[in-house]
Amino acid sequence: MEIWLDPGEGVTPHIHPALEERFEVLAGNPSFLSGRAWSTAAPGGTVVVPAGARHAYRNRGGETAHMVCHAKPPSTLQEFLGETACRSRSGHREMVVLLFPPMPPRFVQRLLFGRK
């Protein structure tokens, strides 16, 4: 998924329990939060966010940042990032969002969770 961040844009801190993200920076100098520490990436750099790590990113620079994000395993990441960007612009600076992999087939759900 391609991401363009105007100056001042980004996503709030969040966690994906079962999703790894790999960000390739193509332009600009976006900042990435991993745990409690922020770092800045340059064009040509790659930032890997392992599953379960609290993370965020922002464009604190003066030019548009351009990145490509690879999610493993693939999921509805694009929809999630769009929603979190909207929430961030509206003033929500901290949130925890959990993205789970697709649910197992119904018969497995019944075995695991009981019949409902």
Q: What is the DSSP letter of 109?
A: H
In the chain, the domains with their CATH numbers are 2-113 (2.60.120.10)
Given a contact cutoff of 8 angstroms between Cβ atoms, the answer to whether 115 and 107 are in contact is no
Angstrom distance (rounded) from CA 83 to CA 23? 18
- pLDDT digit string (tens) for 26-52? 999 999 998 888 999 999 999 999 988
| Helix, strand, coil percentages, rounded to 5, for the chain | 20, 35, 45
Angstrom distance (rounded) from CA 57 to CA 45? 14
Angstrom distance (rounded) from CA 76 to CA 99? 9
- pLDDT digit string (tens) for 13-24? 888 888 899 999
